[in-house]
Amino acid sequence: MGNQSSKINIQNKKKQDAVIKPSTSISTNIGSIASSRRSSITEFFAKRKQSIASIMKREEDIKEHDREQRQHYLLKNVRKGNTRTLLDSPKRIVESGIGNGIWVLEMATQYPDAQVIGLDLKLPDIQLSNQTFYRANIIETWPIEPDSVDFLFQRNMVTCLQKDHWIHVFSEMFRVLKPGGSLELIEQDLLHHNPGPVLQALHAFYKEQFDQTKIDWELSTLRDALSQIGFIDIELITIDIPIGEWPTESDQKQFGFMNKDIQKAFLKNKKNEYMQRWSMSSMDYDVAVGEVCDEFEEYQSFTRVNCWMAKKPVY
């Protein structure tokens, strides 16, 4: 695998944990702060779940939102934060395509002085005071003034956009960013690396489907389109996340465990759609998913995460 930036020095952390022991009164205090914070977060997600259920009727869509949440935490852990770009007191932050809204929620909490805006076709009905959701189709004009955004984030949107939509999306991003503002785009390779034979067979189905729906599954347009629009300082960083517990190194093994769970959940959530699309019986589909999960370990498969960073020039 390529980038190893996600490693943590566990030995040093253990030493620190052994030295710092809070006194009973401090730990009781921390306990009550943690429990009130926990109950407000729990309450938020309980309401969030109701709000998702009100806009999503299908059980598999709700499960997909849960899977996206786990994926968010895996990516946050691997990347050691919600952004790679260093943000200096941002006033306005935008995410395009918010999914379950977790990134917007976390950024609004991390930057209480910033206004955090989420754009999506489907909106949740919950708001924090510094968080706003706009119902918007990002392949049309965005409801945001020009030159007004410090930081723009978009993640896992490649399957929602056709190849020829990217230029428009980037030109809207360019329009709304302040001169000097930054952009971060995260897309995972849609085909996993080191596939076994059954996964290769699924990949052939995927490619056919992506070609039919005009999806840029090779992510080939992204870099060229960014520079064509006028972005500068374009940088691409890739991080490889194992699928399965095959790595020997302990934190990679943990990431692999989580990633395999996420990939398995994806295949389960897509069962009805893929069975129909690929004319497979329920049993054949389940057998294929079981085989794919075994292959992840046997062939040491991994997911490649691509992160593009770019800036709008200061004129």
Ligand X SMILES: C[S@@+](CC[C@H](N)C(=O)[O-])C[C@H]1O[C@@H](n2cnc3c(N)ncnc32)[C@H](O)[C@@H]1O
Does 101 help bind ligand X (rule: CB under 6 A)? no
Q: Give the count of residues interacting with ligand X (CB under 6 A).
A: 16
CB closer to ligand X, 71 vs 252 = 71
Long-range CB contact pairs, 202-205, < 8 A, 24+: 202/288, 202/292, 205/274, 205/277, 205/278
Three-state secondary structure call for residue 307: strand
Does 156 help bind ligand X (rule: CB under 6 A)? yes
Does 139 help bind ligand X (rule: CB under 6 A)? yes
Does 107 help bind ligand X (rule: CB under 6 A)? no
Tokens of 247: 């790595």
Contact 72, 102 (CB under 8 A): yes
Binders of ligand X in range 39-68 (CB under 6 A)? 68
Q: Please identify which residue in 52, 74, 94, 97 interacts with ligand X, judged by CB under 6 A.
A: 97
Three-state secondary structure call for residue 237: strand
N-term to C-term CA, the chain: 40
Burial profile 105-114: b = 16 or more Cβ within 10 angstroms, e = fewer:
bbbbeebeeb
> Residue with structure tokens 């030493």?
15
Segment lying near ligand X (by CB under 6 A), choices 12-20, 52-60, 134-142, 192-200: 134-142
Contact 62, 85 (CB under 8 A): no
CB closer to ligand X, 98 vs 199 = 98
Least CB distance to ligand X at residue 119 (A): 6
Segment lying near ligand X (by CB under 6 A), choices 39-47, 120-128, 196-204, 225-233: 120-128
Query: Cα separations (Å) of 215 from 40, 116, 135?
Result: 40, 29, 23
Tokens of 47: 């309401």
Burial profile 178-203: b = 16 or more Cβ within 10 angstroms, e = fewer:
beebbbbbbbbbbbbbbbbebbeebe
Contact 87, 81 (CB under 8 A): no
Segment lying near ligand X (by CB under 6 A), choices 154-162, 194-202, 294-302, 305-313: 154-162
CB closer to ligand X, 154 vs 252 = 154
Distance of CA 51 to the CA centre of its chain: 20
Q: Please identify which residue in 26, 41, 121, 232 interacts with ligand X, judged by CB under 6 A.
A: 121
Binders of ligand X in range 188-217 (CB under 6 A)? none
CB closer to ligand X, 107 vs 196 = 107
Segment lying near ligand X (by CB under 6 A), choices 29-37, 110-118, 119-127, 251-259: 119-127
Please give the single-letter amino acid code of residue 230: G
Least CB distance to ligand X at residue 156 (A): 4
CB closer to ligand X, 4 vs 54 = 54
Least CB distance to ligand X at residue 14 (A): 33
Least CB distance to ligand X at residue 221 (A): 16
CB closer to ligand X, 70 vs 271 = 70
Tokens of 168: 């428009």
Q: Please identify which residue in 120, 184, 187, 240 interacts with ligand X, judged by CB under 6 A.
A: 120
Query: Cα separations (Å) of 113 from 98, 99, 109, 128, 133?
Result: 20, 23, 9, 12, 17
User: x/- string (CB under 6 A) for ligand X, residues 65-84?
Assistant: ---x---x------------
Report the interface residues with ligand X, using CB under 6 A.
68, 72, 97-99, 119-122, 137-139, 155-157, 160
